Amino acid sequence: MKFKETKIKGLYIIEPELKIDERGYFARIFCKKELAKISFDFEVVQINRSLNKKKGILRGMHFQKPPKAEDKIVQCIQGAIYDVAVDLRKGSSTYGQWVAEELTEDNKKMFLIPKGFAHGFQSLKDNSEILYFLSEFYSPEYQSGIRFNDPFFNIKWPIRNQFLLERDKNWPLIQK
């Protein structure tokens, strides 16, 4: 596994190292020892999977508040997504900044998103499927979010005609 730190400290793109032969390939997509090399302690307690039937579906921007904050590893296993993480860590020099990465079934990249970040994505193809490895159980009472089009963050989504739930359209705007 190759870890590439983004412009925001603690936020990584993971590239699996493929072992290719005549049968196909083999790749490790999670290894606690490898994560320890970048000083990231991650215990998987839940794995979720989502299907996004149409191009342009936007899910986000979500996070869980402490004490149920969660680390995530996100991978697109079919199709393609534009995956976004926003730094919400109070006191961080990169507070409010965001990083986006295209995750596809072909590039097999993963996004390692630590606690303190909001996360969301937009499907770039019909029938895109995503796996989420989570360090905390889903707790609806701690669920929160930020608005996908909040001018404070100014996230540049690739597809204008988004489809999203009313809940995601109505998260509060950040007060500057």
pLDDT tens digits along 127-172: 999 999 999 999 999 999 999 999 999 999 999 878 899 999 999 9
**For the chain, domain boundaries:** 43-166
Active centre residues (catalytic): 62, 132
At 42-84, the pLDDT tens digits run 999 999 999 999 999 999 999 999 999 999 999 999 999 999 9
- Residues β-bridged to residue 12: 5, 112
- Residues β-bridged to residue 2: 15
pLDDT band at 33 (very low <50, low <70, confident <90, very high): very high
Domain 43-166's class?
mainly beta
Q: Cβ(112)–Cβ(13) under 8 Å?
A: yes
> Which candidate, 114, 151, 93, places its Cα nearest to that of 14?
114
Query: Strand, helix or coil at 36?
Result: helix
Helix residue ranges per DSSP H, the chain? 32-37, 166-169
Q: Cβ(113)–Cβ(85) under 8 Å?
A: yes
Task: For residues 89-93, give the mean pLDDT.
Answer: 94
At 97-139, the pLDDT tens digits run 999 999 999 999 999 999 999 999 999 999 999 999 999 999 9
Say how far apart CA 125 and CA 123 lie, in whole Å: 6
Angle of CA points 145, 174, 158, to nearest 5°? 65
pLDDT band at 176 (very low <50, low <70, confident <90, very high): low
